[in-house]
Amino acid sequence: MTVKISAKEVGDLRNRTGAGMMDCKKALQETGGDLEAAVDLLRKKGAAKADKRAGRDVKEGVIGSYVHFNGQVGVLVELNCETDFVARTDDFQSLAKEIALHVASANPLAVSAEDLPKDIVARERRIIEETVAESGKPENVREKMVEGKLKKFAQEHALLEQMFVKDDKKSIADLVKEVSAKVGENVVVRRFVRYELGGSA
């Protein structure tokens, strides 16, 4: 038995998720008209599509900026997408601003874990290995402890791995994926620069 879905329900779901009308209608039919379940379903599908889009070329975008209220910290973030049309959307522009604000507050060292400066990671590994060596645990356990602590270090210092300062249940990567799912394009944080008064550039 097919559940009858009203245009208002489809409209409500579209407003919540930014998905297409037909996708919203299908999601509501699949979930028996349950709006919250339909939101979850569309988010999962959107995230899966966002993963598939990850390899696509991104040559458009914006520079998002944020200057702290005291005028002592300023950030520029380059956020890229596939088309100029998406670059001008509120969702995309808002994401660039939110990431810039996050960078001002969380002070990451690099965009991704792979981009973390090799010398800093090597120094951190040495410190962790020395600390773990004193624990007296077997070598195979120590190796796992070192890898676990290095992963935690990356989560704390790589922008995409960090939890968003306004919502500690989402990482910056999650935010990017959500917007990618909503706008239907590959979205990439290319680079950022953070200035602090009196600090080194």
Radius of gyration (C-alpha) of the chain in whole angstroms: 21
**Topology alike, domains 7-53 and 60-111+158-196:** no
Per-residue pLDDT 10s for the chain (201 aa) are 567 888 888 888 877 766 677 788 888 888 888 888 888 887 777 655 656 656 667 789 999 999 998 889 999 999 999 889 999 999 999 999 999 999 999 999 999 999 999 999 999 999 988 888 887 777 888 888 888 999 999 999 999 999 999 999 999 999 999 999 888 888 999 999 999 987 654
- Where in the chain are the domains? 7-53, 60-111+158-196, 117-157
Q: What is the pTM of this model?
A: 0.69
Structure tokens at 194: 């953070």
Q: Does the structural domain 7-53 have CATH classification 3.40.50.1240? A: no
Domain 60-111+158-196 sits in CATH at 3.30.479.20
